[in-house]
Every structure is written in C-alpha cells, then in structure tokens.
Homo-oligomer: A and B are copies of this chain.
Amino acid sequence: MRRTDSQNAAPREITATVGALATPALLLDKDRLDRNLARLSSRMAAAGVVLRPHMKTAKSIEVAQRAYPSGPGPITVSTLAEAEYFAQYGFRDVTYAVGVAPHTAERAMRLRKAGVDLKVLLDSPEQAAMLGTAARAAGVTPSAFIEIDCDGHRGGLTATDPKLIAVAAALAEAGVTLAGILTHAGESYSLCSSDALVAAAENERAVAVAAAETLRAAGHECPVVSVGSTPTAHFAEGLTGVTEMRAGVYMFFDLVMHGVGVCTTDDIAISVLATVIGTKPEKGWILVDAGWMALSRDRGTAAQRVDQGYGLVCDLSGQLYPNLIVAQASQEHGILAIRSRSAAALPHIPIGAKVRILPNHACATASQHELYNVISAGSDAIEAQWPRMRGW
C-alpha cells in the first residue's frame, strides 16, 4: 500500500497496520467519517438547505472529496491558505468566514482575479471601504457577507443594530456585492440539553432571518442567509428562511461534541495512537508517548459535566477502557489514570502496548499532525495516508 499525497510528492511505502505504526500518530476511521458526513448532508437535503462544510477541521483534500464524491461543492474556510489549497483542487465556491483586514482583502481579491468565487466577511463600514480599495486595485468585483451576532459569542452586528444598514450602504458605495448575512451560534458549544440546543438553533435561525429582512426592507438584496454550528445544525427543528448551513467538526466529532450531546463516542472518527512507555501502579498511572504535542492543549471538556482530561483511552481495537482518561499531559508525555470519583481499577497495559485516545477537540488535535492514517472499522490495515495543510 502506498501513500497518497495531494502535493504530488513521490509515493512512499508506509506501515501497513495500526499495530506497527510509529507513535504518536493520528488515525481516521473513514467509515465513521462517511457516516457523519451522510448524517448531516441527508438532514440538510431534507430541509432544502445548502450544506457548506467548514474545512477548518479536516484541512484535507481527500476529506473534502469524501464530502463531495461527485465533484467539488461549496465550502467554508478559516484561512486564505485553506482557500488557496482547496481552490487548486477545483473547490471554487468558497466563503472565508473570518473578518477581512487590508492584507487579507488584497490576497482574497487575487483569488477572485484567479477565478475563485471567494466571499469574505465583515461587519463595519471601514472593512467595506478597505475591500472596495483592494477590489479596485485588483480589477474585480468583490462579494461579502455581513456578519450577524446571534448570541453574543464573538463578532458581528445584532439584527437590530442600526449599523447593519450603514454597512450595507457602505458596501454598495464601495462597489461590493452583498452576498447575504452570515451568523454562527458559537454559544451552542456550551449547552448540553436537547431543549436548549433546539432553542439555540431556532434563535440562530430567527436572528439571521430578521437581519436579512431588515436589509431587504431597506432595499438591499440579501440572497444568502447562512447559519451554522455543529450543535445547531443537528438540532434545528425548522430552517424557514435559511438558505445555507455551515458546520465543520461534525465530520470527525469529538468529546466536546459528545458532552454537548450531538454524538456518541462511537461516532468520533479520529483518535491518537500512543505507546505505553512507563507504568506507575503505585500512583495509579500509566505513561504514554502522546502528550500535548500529539493531543493539543485543548481542555474543552473541563467546562462540561464530565471532564475527560486530555482524552478518553481505548485499546488498539477502539474499545473504551472504563473511566480511563489522559489525566495529565506534558509536551511528549501523557499520564493515563482512572477518573476521580470512579471505582474502576487501573487496567494492566504493559510497556510497549498501544492505546488509542479520543480527543476533546478534533480541530485542535488534528492540527498537531501532518497526516491522517486512514483505517476502516474492524480492520488493522492502514489504507492510506491523507496529508493535512496548515499555516495561514
């Protein structure tokens, strides 16, 4: 079996089984990936809403092609490096969902000049003017979303903010096409009951639609009403007035999403393979060679009802050890221990044995690795290695 490499480097022989892989290493279960992709795409198809997957989680052309087996479709990105990377593989309908600044406006306009239908995001007249300047310099017509704040999470304007009309006017004055409005229910990550998630999804929808209606009432066309977060995408009971859904972590899922209640641990498609390098039974510890460099420093579950430490530990086949977590992490060391207030016994895992660790936050853990070692459920074979892109 040979390495697939999107960068067209020379293929090379790779380890053929998980058990023989050097550690730490990132595993991706493609059956779980496919199931997660199908779950949300069929849900959005039933709702008649365009799904625009966020590629910031996977950052992999092979994963994008898995989401779009019949050819490139609309995507969301978090960096212009992602936009440039996916564009070279034919993904040309791209929304850059981070507020635009002068240097990114110029770079985004170069991509538009190259034929990429790249939409940018902003929430101020200053950004509209900057974008207009960059677009005139590049000789292109830009397209931008106005960012709406639906839950106080981050940036954007509230649906009732008078600045909303001022920004739309500034876009018109700067010669920028208004693509529509875009919002993200980021606060939904802190919820854990289905009632609260259904309510967060309805709030995200209602605020987005109200903002679009405000713009339309002022005479601005607002074709796209874009919403999205993995929790609200899976709990929305109605999407009337919404035209587009964005989500990213749903492809892989993780322990934070499990804590929110969007997935089971059996849905989590990535795990970090590690090797036992020491045992301290007198302390209730097992040391492994996966520390924060392999797992990331993300402690997203610390704020949830069940704190998973730096991750939940499974055996080589992916079966969970009861209540065994990565209790501590330094750069290249992880300390496995039974979670506090559990009566479970520390399993005997000898030095040299391998374990698999389910991550708190898939976006953060995957970003610590160069590539995905692709596996299928119930098989020890590594079927491919899919590179990840990185940087800005």
Q: What is the distance, in angstroms, from A81's C-beta to the closest C-beta of chain B?
A: 10
Q: Indicate the member of A25, A102, A126, A331 with the most B CB atoms within 10 Å.
A: A331
- Known contacts A124-B351, A155-B333; is-contact A98 B392 (Cβ 8 Å): no
- Known contacts A56-B331, A370-B390; is-contact A22 B107 (Cβ 8 Å): yes
A22 to B102, CA, bound (A): 10
A277 touches B101 (CB 8 A): yes
A56 to B330, CA, bound (A): 12
Stretch of A27-35, A83-91, A289-297 at the chain-chain interface: A289-297
Q: What is the distance, in angstroms, from A27's C-beta to the closest C-beta of chain B?
A: 14
B22 touches A293 (CB 8 A): no
Q: Indicate the member of A123, A332, A363 with the most B CB atoms within 10 Å.
A: A332
Q: What is the distance, in angstroms, from A50's C-beta to the closest C-beta of chain B?
A: 22
A126 touches B297 (CB 8 A): no
Is A225 interfacial (CB-CB < 8 Å)? no
B275 touches A330 (CB 8 A): no
**Interface of A: prevailing SS:** loop
A24 to B361, CA, bound (A): 22
B154 touches A103 (CB 8 A): no
Is A287 interfacial (CB-CB < 8 Å)? yes
Count contacts on A: residues with CB < 8 A to the other chain. 57
A352 to B124, CA, bound (A): 12
Q: What is the distance, in angstroms, from A124's C-beta to the closest C-beta of chain B?
A: 6
A57 to B169, CA, bound (A): 49
Chain B residue with Cβ nearest A296: B297
- Known contacts A22-B392, A330-B154; is-contact A102 B352 (Cβ 8 Å): yes
Is A381 interfacial (CB-CB < 8 Å)? no
* A342-365 Cβ-contact flags toward B at 8 Å (1 or 0): 000000001110000000010110
B333 touches A154 (CB 8 A): yes
A130 to B124, CA, bound (A): 63
* In the complex, chain B residues whose CB is within 8 Å of the CB of A318: none
* A69-110 Cβ-contact flags toward B at 8 Å (1 or 0): 000000000110000000000000000001111111001000
* In the complex, chain B residues whose CB is within 8 Å of the CB of A278: 99, 123-124, 155
Q: A101-B275, A126-B350, A152-B283 are in contact. List 14 more A-B contacts (CB 8 A).
A: A22-B103, A56-B331, A56-B332, A98-B289, A99-B287, A101-B277, A101-B351, A103-B275, A126-B352, A127-B351, A154-B335, A292-B298, A297-B299, A370-B391
- Residue numbers of A with Cβ under 8 A of B are 22-25, 56, 78-79, 98-104, 107, 123-124, 126-127, 130, 152, 154-155, 186, 275-280, 283, 287, 289, 292-294, 296-299, 330-333, 335, 350-352, 361, 363-364, 367-368, 370, 390-392
A-B pairs, top 6 by smallest CB distance, nearest first, are A297-B297, A99-B277, A297-B298, A155-B278, A78-B332, A101-B275
